[in-house]
Structure 1
Amino acid sequence: MPSQDNSLREIEIKLSAKEKTLEKIVNNPVFNRYGNAIWQQKKLLNQYIDSADYQLTKANVALRVRKDGEQYIQTLKSKGNSVGGFSARDEFDWYLNSSQLDRSLLVSPYWPEKLHGFDKSSLMTIFSTDFVRQYAQFIWDVDGEQALIEVAVDQGTVKALHQQTGICELELELKSGNANTMLNFAIELASRFPLIPSNLSKAERGYRLINPDVYKKIMVGVPLVEGSFDDRVKYYLAASQYYWESYNWQPEPARLVSWVEALQNLCTLLKKQNIEELISLLEPMLLDWKQIIEVDSKEWHKKVFEESDCTRLGVFLLSASRWLLNRH
């Protein structure tokens, strides 16, 4: 029989990186500043489950069964909120005795109200994410503010419909302590290594393989005209990340132009409130890119590759997330 559920609020930062960067991070002494981080490794095999017409993802939930060593874990996740790579969402875990989905666990209060009446017998595996995880836990301490953080380096593949895409990312998960402290650590890492926050989950990468047209058309919402200042900052921050990630997925010039436009709108907003700590990070990068998009678009992809090897984009996005977090 499966164990009783373990529900929690997952708070994490997802950072995309190149393979060479991840190798350097694992061996970096920064993790040993406040104790010896003991790195471990395991293989995680994940089957993501939905109906043939994708009712779960439409309801903003993800369902998977994971094999972790000899243990099977059934997990239901909400989409939650994700800005600048920093996300918070509800997660429910159940330990199973086999790889078979246990539909009896998918009930209130875990099961979304919008899926009331949904035929759970239609659920089936639609894609997989298999990767090797190197991970360690350590305590980061800054001026007496502590956070217990799990650092995970994930490398592998997402497979769907005879297609696949790579997984190459760093995740920081807050186990206990202050979320702001974890963001401070992420900013320090991003100032040392080219790490760019990502709002795209492994599950969303699978759905993107299944139906790429959805991700060609998707947008973060309608621009807010009358929303609060914070909401408008979140909108343009999310828009900039969407266009950056979508361009790196499928390099269409219009996406790069939209990325620069989102950053320009964000910079204009920040200047109205004189948020100098963010303006000083964003404006030099924005000026560079406004000049770049005026030249032949054949050069753009090279410039994107060069930007991905810099630290400034990651530092700005994480600093913006920290600023928003400290506003509340």
Structure 2
Amino acid sequence: MSSPKEIEVKLQLPSASPARLRRVPLLRKINGSTRKENQVSVYFDTGRLKLRNSGLTLRVRHVGDRYIQTIKSDIGELFERGEWETEIRSDWPDLKQADASALQPLDIKRLRKQLRPVFETRVQRTTYPLTGKDCDIVLTIDRGEIDAGDSTLPLCEAELELKQGDRARLFEFAIAFARATSAELAIKSKSQRGYELLAGDGVSAVKGDEVEIAPGTPAKTAFQSIASACLKQIVANKPAILAGDPEGIHQMRVGLRRLRAAISLFSAIVTDAKTPGIKTGLKWLTNELGPAREFEVFLTRVVAPLGKQHARLTGMRSLSHDLAERREAAIARALAAVSSKRFRELTLNCAAWLEVGDWREPRNAALRERGDKPIETVARAQLKRRWKKIRKRGRQLAKLDPHARHKLRIQVKKLRYATEFYKTVFSGKKREKRNAAFLAALKDMQDCCGELNDIFVHEKLTAGIAEAPQPARSSRRVFAAGLLIGHEEARFEPVLAAAEHAFSVFEKLNPYWD
């Protein structure tokens, strides 16, 4: 049975025509060692999908006259998985060969009776060896389909697997190949896509995964786990955005905010030459998605209800129409951003930075010491400092101008994300109870501060449209705009009162990290 770890980068290809691939500089250097073969892989599970629910996959791959059984386990990493591979005699799993694998805890004897095929992949695989002095990497390009019986899904992807050598070289090759082929970072395996096809799941928005960090974990390792989960959420929501789902934009923005918050929290650790470029790219993408979300919230939560109440007003219909047009323009801007070369390069460069960035092994002794500190030590200092800032500024909430309230909202959001990130760091029933109360109070504060910010943004959006040159309907539009602005102004005092109440609850809570 082969080594129980697989390190690979997956890339989604827009096209893998042989003619185009022959023009890739990286592949021109290969002399006659390319291999092509047809592969059929059958994935097995129980009727209740016990393997999938345990983070495991089991497949038997038919290649020529050979049958290769592979078991993989999700270990919570973007580019690493447990892997146990062995040759067997037939096209049915041989679980006698799985005693030392991740299947062992699942009662193999019972599992053997419950297994059945659930879906299969059929691909033409082309393999390119990329061997250098300091690495042994295999590039495979698969073209074919996933077949779940009642439905199929086309497949066109590349995988770069590190067999031996420096991980940094793996990402160098991946970035060079992606740049030459317009490929982009893929975060779903064939098995994940197969299970989605089996369930009939359409494209939908994806929430972020919870991160489990054990006490004693080095701070730099904790950051990598947190940031990788955030990057996964960002990339996973591109299909939903392309499908026209507004929630996809929202969830990608959440992933971006969480990742930017994580970089801010660990700013004393994740410092290297690439960090400013990563931060600039993430800010760019956040700004490109922002208007689409702002118009979506305004139209659905404010304009649509008021439009029904004042359906006969020509000015309201005109204003609603113009806002809808601006929303479509903002959505087009978001679509252009996630479809761009800059997005593809940002996500792959960010992945490389997280995995092999210089910040992981800094030359500076002080930086190394910070990164090696136990996460609870680092987290406690972060949480205490941000908690004090919010308490100080929150006491002046009623006196803050919109800009200062927005800054408070950002501080609350970062502390909330930090509390979610560190949920498993501070263990014990008492701390868990305090953590839950702390998180609930932060969520209430964030919601209220968000509402206050929305009111300010909505008033600006409305004023901007009302002032646009429309001579024939200007007075009606101004009247309709006045209704919208008046509606938002009427909400301000109750929302401010709710925010002050949420802060008073938060202020009374004991820190869960002490």
Pairing 1:1-328 to 2, within 5 Å after superposition: 5-19=1-15, 24-33=20-29, 36=31, 38-83=33-78, 87-115=79-107, 118-140=110-132, 146-213=134-201, 219-222=207-210, 228-247=222-241, 251-271=244-264, 273=267, 275-291=275-291, 293=293, 294=295, 295-297=326-328, 300=331, 304=335, 307-308=338-339, 310-326=340-356, 327=360
Match of 1:296, SS state, is helix
Match of 1:19, SS state, is coil
Shift of the 212–314 alpha-carbon distance from structure 1 to 2, 3 Å rule, reads: same
Q: In structure 1, what is the Cα distance between the partners aligned to 2:40 and 2:60?
A: 8
* Range 290-299 or range 70-79, more displaced: 290-299
Consecutive unaligned residues in structure 1, runs of 5 or more: none
Structure with bigger gyration radius: 2
1:125 partner letter: P
1:220 Cα deviation (Å)?
3.7
Q: In structure 1, what is the Cα distance between the partners aligned to 2:150 and 2:253?
A: 34
Runs of 4+ in structure 1 off by over 6 angstroms are 223-227
1:194 Cα deviation (Å)?
2.1
2:67 partner letter: Y
Shift of the 192–285 alpha-carbon distance from structure 1 to 2, 3 Å rule, reads: farther
TM-score of the superposition, structure 2-length normalised? 0.55
* Range 59-68 or range 107-116, more displaced: 107-116
Shift of the 265–167 alpha-carbon distance from structure 1 to 2, 3 Å rule, reads: same
1:39 Cα deviation (Å)?
2.5
1:64 Cα deviation (Å)?
0.6
Q: Which structure is higher in RCO with an 8 Å CA cutoff and minimum separation 6?
A: 1
* Range 42-51 or range 289-298, more displaced: 289-298
1:135 Cα deviation (Å)?
1.4
1:243 Cα deviation (Å)?
1.8
Would the aligned equivalents of 1:43 and 1:132 in 2 still touch at CA under 8 Å?
yes
* Range 95-104 or range 263-272, more displaced: 263-272
For residues 60-85 of structure 1, give each alpha carbon's deviation from its aligned partner in whole angstroms, at most 9, with x where no partner exists: 110011111221111111123443xx
Larger strand proportion of the pair = 1
For residues 205-228 of structure 1, give each alpha carbon's deviation from its aligned partner in whole angstroms, at most 9, with x where no partner exists: 111012245985864424789995
* Range 294-303 or range 276-285, more displaced: 294-303
* Range 263-272 or range 224-233, more displaced: 224-233
Q: In structure 2, what is the Cα distance between the partners aligned to 1:192 and 1:260?
A: 28
Q: In structure 2, what is the Cα distance between the partners aligned to 1:57 and 1:215?
A: 19
2:286 partner letter: L
For residues 27-54 of structure 1, give each alpha carbon's deviation from its aligned partner in whole angstroms, at most 9, with x where no partner exists: 3122345x53632211110110001110
1:26 Cα deviation (Å)?
4.2
For residues 256-303 of structure 1, give each alpha carbon's deviation from its aligned partner in whole angstroms, at most 9, with x where no partner exists: 221133223323443552731311333333323334555435874796
How many residues align? The count is 314
2:74 partner letter: K
Shift of the 59–268 alpha-carbon distance from structure 1 to 2, 3 Å rule, reads: closer
Would the aligned equivalents of 1:127 and 1:159 in 2 still touch at CA under 8 Å?
yes
* Range 73-82 or range 55-64, more displaced: 73-82
- Percent identity, please: 21
Would the aligned equivalents of 2:148 and 2:197 in 1 still touch at CA under 8 Å?
yes
Would the aligned equivalents of 2:44 and 2:58 in 1 still touch at CA under 8 Å?
yes
Consecutive unaligned residues in structure 2, runs of 5 or more: 296-325, 362-514
Shift of the 152–230 alpha-carbon distance from structure 1 to 2, 3 Å rule, reads: closer
1:319 Cα deviation (Å)?
2.1
Shift of the 61–115 alpha-carbon distance from structure 1 to 2, 3 Å rule, reads: farther
Shift of the 94–232 alpha-carbon distance from structure 1 to 2, 3 Å rule, reads: closer
1:21 Cα deviation (Å)?
7.4
For residues 102-122 of structure 1, give each alpha carbon's deviation from its aligned partner in whole angstroms, at most 9, with x where no partner exists: 232232444242456643211
Would the aligned equivalents of 1:22 and 1:170 in 2 still touch at CA under 8 Å?
no
2:327 partner letter: D
Q: In structure 2, what is the Cα distance between the partners aligned to 1:20 and 1:253?
A: 31
